Amino acid sequence: MSLSRSPGRATGAAGLAHVVLLLAGFAIAMPSVLHDSPPAELRDFYVDGAEAMIFAGGYVECVALLLFLPFAAGLHRRLRDREPRHGSAAATARMAAVCYVTIGLAPGMSAAAAAVYLGHRGVEDPALLALATNLRSFSYFLSLLALSLFLVAVAVSAWRSGALPRGMSGSAAVLGIVLAAAVTRATGGWSDLVTLAVLVWLVAVSVWLLTRRGPARVQEPARQAVA
């Protein structure tokens, strides 16, 4: 009989990498414009900003978003295997994770990249830059709404099945509800604070998955050759 590491090890590694790269990409790009930024700030960022640094940071953030998918898939597997029959919360969490990543990549990051590209090639129309910023900002807030659904679905499934410690499943429910409410106050900075709390939750879950041991695995006895 031997102890083997849980399949959650890869899930935990993906979750930690997601958080680290997301913060690193943000630090590199240093986005300083929002949907309510004045035209002068839009020009400073899109036209006069360091193009290479912005694209490098954006690329790292895109990789971070993609790494959320294997984390969510591994967590979904753990929840699904322990969820009561006919339960749908685990599947809902997986679909919400896909929505979160898709919205963050396609409208969000693409709009910002297009605005930076055009701004550094002579396009300084304030209306166009504002349009790209609004698309990026509101895509971000919509992605947070999908993330809140992911958290609530994980909480429901884990609470019923015991797939995660009670503290993690309960805090996921609270964070999901608060995050959904914070999206309605996009200009107050509340969503950013709650998002940071969500990142802390992701780190806690990832570390827990990395450090726990899987169930004991019984090795089959070697077959004896028959003379």
pLDDT tens digits for 164-209?
999 999 999 999 999 999 988 766 578 888 999 999 999 999 999 9
Can you tell me which residue has the tokens 């690193």? 24
When comparing pLDDT for 35 and 43, which is higher? 43
* pLDDT tens for each residue of 140-158: 899 999 999 999 999 999 9
* Exposure string for 145-168, b = 16+ CB within 10 A, e = fewer: bbbbbbbbbbbbbbbbbebbeeeb
Provide the domain count of the chain: 1
Q: Which residues contact 105 (CB under 8 A, 6 or more apart)?
A: 62, 65, 66
- Taking alpha carbons only, the member of 103, 128, 134, 104 closest to residue 115 is 128
Residue 224 — pLDDT band, cuts 50, 70, 90? Answer: very low
In a domain, 141, yes or no: yes
Q: What is the pLDDT of residue 225?
A: 43
Q: Which residues contact 169 (CB under 8 A, 6 or more apart)?
A: 154, 155, 158, 159, 163
User: Interhelix angle for 39-46 vs 110-119, to 10°?
Assistant: 80
pLDDT value at 218 more than 60: no
- Taking alpha carbons only, the member of 103, 118, 150 closest to residue 49 is 118
What percent of the chain clears pLDDT 70, i.e. is strictly above it?
Answer: 87
Residue 137 — pLDDT band, cuts 50, 70, 90? Answer: confident
Q: What is the pLDDT of residue 7?
A: 67
In a domain, 223, yes or no: no
Q: What is the pLDDT of residue 188?
A: 56
In a domain, 225, yes or no: no
Q: Are 179 and 173 in contact, with CB atoms under 8 Å apart?
A: no
Residue 213 — pLDDT band, cuts 50, 70, 90? Answer: low
Q: Are 172 and 157 in contact, with CB atoms under 8 Å apart?
A: no
Q: Are 156 and 53 in contact, with CB atoms under 8 Å apart?
A: no
Name the pTM for this structure. 0.84
Range 119-126 average pLDDT: 80
Domain of 93 in residue numbering reads as 2-217
Q: What is the pLDDT of residue 153?
A: 97
In a domain, 65, yes or no: yes
Tell me whether residue 123 is exposed, middle or buried, using C-beta atoms within 10 angstroms of its C-beta: 0 to 12, 13 to 18, 19 or more.
middle
In a domain, 153, yes or no: yes
User: Interhelix angle for 51-82 vs 190-211, to 10°?
Assistant: 60
pLDDT value at 223 more than 80: no
Q: What is the pLDDT of residue 34?
A: 67
pLDDT value at 38 more than 50: yes
Q: What is the pLDDT of residue 87?
A: 82
Range 213-219 average pLDDT: 46
- Taking alpha carbons only, the member of 140, 137, 76, 78 closest to residue 103 is 140
Please name the amino acid found at residue 110: S
In a domain, 99, yes or no: yes
Q: What is the pLDDT of residue 217?
A: 41
